């Protein structure tokens, strides 16, 4: 008898009669009912959140600038389609959350808009939205409510941040405008400073010339003072000497006057004598002509007389000249006398004037020295002024250039650019969610886990009817491997039927798509073969205890397969279970085959399931061999299931 005949006999045994057939049908439908109904119920729970009642307490009073931000929040919540919102007062909301009328409540306080409007102030306040939950109503609803409130917060943060950033950028425009004015002023300052620098340089040059002149003036006044002091010393006896000079000059003038008078008398006598000679010459000529002398003879006589008279005429001329000179000398002496008299009269005043001039020159010299010293100080000051003016000019140029350069670095966007920039600043991070592989829905995300779980449960319930080993075959002495495989094949066949029904309904009626449907079905069928082999081995080797161990393995795989949360979130002590137990490999492989993606790990999953299949059949073979020996516990077991 081969293994197939053993399997056929077992199938005929469990289907003998109407009620057994129904029982087998029910067992075949268990995975379908468990897997498909659960996935159908949870296919898209987020799409029906609008059936969950939630309370909204609106107390916001609004502001003139923002309007009523609370109303905007309420509008967004209603438009989102998430939850069935009921706007009530605070008392009704609290009571409703406590007694389960509302799953949770959201309260927007009266100063909500005012707090949002303060974001651009120096002391901003947070807008506080209070979300009240009650985990006794439903824990997941509380989690979803937190997510919704987080989305509301993000939306408001983006909007308020955008408005604050817009004000901030408008401030930059103001800064740019004022900086531009400052740059223009700095340019004018630079021009003025350059002129001041040039003027200061000219002033310094002129001041140096003035200082040089002051030094020359000081030297000149020193010489003047020295000269006037010497003159004062020399002229202190001038009045007395001038008086003596005046007296002497008067005496000389008087003597010269007398001498001139005497000379004039001599000149008059000489002049009269010459006149008499002229008359005498005429008389002689007349008498000679009267005496009969010829004219030639008369002329000869007259010539001879003229020669005699010539010395007399010369003497007369000298006398007349001397008289005239004496008159001039007398007149000059008179002027000298008068001048000396005036000098004598004015010399005291002159001496006083020279004394005063000497005193003034001394003062002038002192002042000139002070002026020279002051000019030296002034030169130092103008030098510093010139240096400072140059520094001012250089600094103003640097200021102008710095402001001009800084002006180009100050953002001054136009209205469209400012709006776009404010939007980016208000919401600086954008999430580009790139899904290399997507499940498509919440139910599809759970499908790998529940397909594997339903397959295990289906394999588990089959052994409520199927006997793992045929006692007749063992008693007949058939090979142990044949007995083991013959006992496993009925469960394997029914398990494949379970998988066909489950996979077909889930992928067609429930709507869970499969990227690689044939491969996914093949992996699930292999999982069913491995699971039935494992449970067959447990039942064959441990008997009634094997059923309990199968249930324990189910529980362990529920928590370690990573069907819902990632298996890495397990406590460290449970980590090894994920690597050892087979359901985690089924979940991993089904995810890749249902959603798509890399096939690298699927090969590993297949190898692990094949290893479990072969290993379980080996254990079943050992169990068949062991049961060839009858023991008291086998003849009369303590526990029969």
For residue 488, the model assigns a pLDDT of 93
- Rounded Cα distance between 572 and 562, Å, is 14
Residue 596's region, left for phi above 0, alpha for psi from -120 to 50, else beta, is left
Helices (H), 506-599: 517-542, 544-560, 575-580, 583-595
3-class SS at 426?
Answer: helix
For residue 348, the model assigns a pLDDT of 76
Percent of the chain clearing pLDDT 70 (strictly above): 84
pLDDT digits (tens, 9 = 90+) for 387-402: 887 787 788 788 778 8
pLDDT digits (tens, 9 = 90+) for 329-385: 778 767 867 776 786 787 677 667 767 766 876 787 787 678 778 777 877 877 787
pTM surpassing 0.85? Answer: no
Q: HEC string of 522-536?
A: HHHHHHHHHHHHHHH
Confidence class of residue 454 from pLDDT cuts 50, 70 and 90?
very high
Q: HEC string of 130-154?
A: EEEECCCCCHHHHHHHHHHHHHHHH
* Segment 544-553 mean pLDDT: 91
pLDDT digits (tens, 9 = 90+) for 163-203: 655 665 566 667 767 777 776 876 787 787 778 778 777 87
Side-chain half-sphere exposure of 300, counting CA atoms within 13 A: 5
pLDDT beyond 90 at 61: no
pLDDT beyond 60 at 506: yes
For residue 612, the model assigns a pLDDT of 96
Do 515 and 448 form a contact (C-beta atoms < 8 A)? no
Least confident window among 60-74, 129-143, 259-273, 575-589:
259-273
- Rounded Cα distance between 491 and 532, Å, is 6
pLDDT beyond 60 at 429: no
2 DSSP assignment:
-
Spatial CB neighbours of 167, under 8 Å, sequence gap ≥ 6? 120
């Amino acid at each position: 008898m081969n293994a197939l005949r053993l399997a056929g006999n077992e199938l005929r045994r469990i289907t003998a009669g109407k009620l057994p057939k129904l029982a087998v049908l029910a067992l075949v439908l268990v995975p379908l009912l468990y897997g498909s109904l659960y996935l159908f119920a949870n296919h898209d729970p987020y799409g029906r959140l609008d059936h969950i009642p939630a309370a909204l307490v609106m107390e916001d009073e609004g502001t003139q600038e923002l309007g009523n931000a609370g109303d905007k929040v309420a509008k967004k919540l209603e438009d989102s389609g998430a939850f069935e919102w009921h706007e009530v007062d605070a008392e009704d909301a609290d009571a409703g959350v406590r007694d389960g009328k509302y799953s949770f409540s959201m309260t927007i306080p009266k100063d909500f808009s005012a707090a949002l409007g303060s974001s651009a102030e120096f002391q901003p306040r947070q807008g506080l939205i209070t979300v009240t939950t009650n985990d006794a109503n439903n824990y997941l609803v509380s989690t979803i409510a937190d997510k919704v409130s987080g989305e509301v917060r993000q939306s408001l943060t983006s909007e308020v941040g955008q408005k604050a950033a817009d004000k901030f950028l408008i401030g930059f425009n103001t800064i740019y405008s004022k900086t531009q004015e400052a740059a223009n002023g700095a340019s004018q300052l630079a021009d003025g400073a350059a002129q001041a620098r040039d003027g200061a340089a000219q002033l310094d040059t002129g001041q140096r010339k003035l200082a040089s002149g002051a030094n020359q003036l000081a030297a000149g006044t020193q010489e003047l003072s020295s000269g006037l002091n010497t003159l004062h010393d020399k002229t202190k006896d001038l009045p007395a000497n001038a008086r003596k000079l005046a007296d002497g000059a008067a005496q000389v003038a008087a003597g010269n006057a007398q001498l001139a008078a005497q000379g004039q008398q001599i000149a008059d006598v000489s002049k009269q004598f010459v006149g008499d000679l002229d008359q005498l010459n005429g008389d002689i000529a007349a008498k000679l002509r009267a005496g009969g002398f010829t004219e030639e003879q008369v002329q000869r006589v007259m010539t001879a007389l003229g020669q005699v008279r010539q010395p007399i005429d010369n003497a007369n001329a000298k006398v007349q000249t001397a008289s005239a000179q004496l008159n001039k000398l007398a007149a000059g002496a008179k002027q000298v006398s008068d001048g000396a008299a005036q000098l004598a009269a004015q010399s005291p005043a002159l001496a006083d004037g020279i004394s005063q001039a000497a005193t003034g020159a001394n003062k002038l010299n002192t002042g000139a020295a002070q002026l020279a010293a002051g000019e030296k100080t002034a030169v130092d000051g103008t030098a510093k002024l010139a240096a400072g003016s140059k520094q001012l000019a250089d600094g103003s140029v640097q200021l102008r250039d710095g402001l001009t350069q800084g002006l180009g670095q100050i953002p001054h966007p136009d209205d469209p650019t400012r709006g776009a920039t404010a939007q980016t600043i208000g919401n600086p991070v954008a999430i580009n969610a790139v899904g290399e592989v997507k499940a498509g829905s919440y139910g599809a995300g759970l499908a790998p886990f529940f397909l594997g779980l339903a397959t295990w449960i289906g394999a588990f319930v089959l052994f409520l009817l199927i006997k793992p080993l045929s006692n007749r075959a063992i008693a007949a002495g058939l090979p142990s491997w044949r007995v083991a495989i013959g006992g496993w094949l009925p469960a394997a066949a029914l398990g494949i039927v379970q998988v066909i029904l489950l996979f077909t309904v889930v992928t067609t009626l429930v709507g869970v798509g499969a990227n690689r449907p044939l491969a996914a079905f093949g992996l699930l069928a292999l999982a069913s073969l491995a699971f039935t082999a494992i449970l067959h081995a447990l039942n064959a080797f441990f008997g009634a205890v094997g059923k309990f161990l199968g249930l324990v393995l189910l529980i362990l795989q529920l928590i370690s397969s990573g069907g819902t949360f990632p298996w890495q979130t397990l406590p460290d002590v449970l980590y090894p279970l994920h690597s050892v137990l087979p359901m985690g490999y089924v979940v991993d492989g089904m995810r890749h085959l249902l959603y798509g993606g890399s096939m690298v790990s699927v090969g590993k999953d297949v190898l692990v399931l094949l290893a479990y299949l072969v290993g379980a059949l080996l254990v079943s073979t050992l169990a068949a061999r062991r049961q060839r020996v009858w023991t008291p516990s086998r003849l009369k077991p303590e526990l029969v299931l």
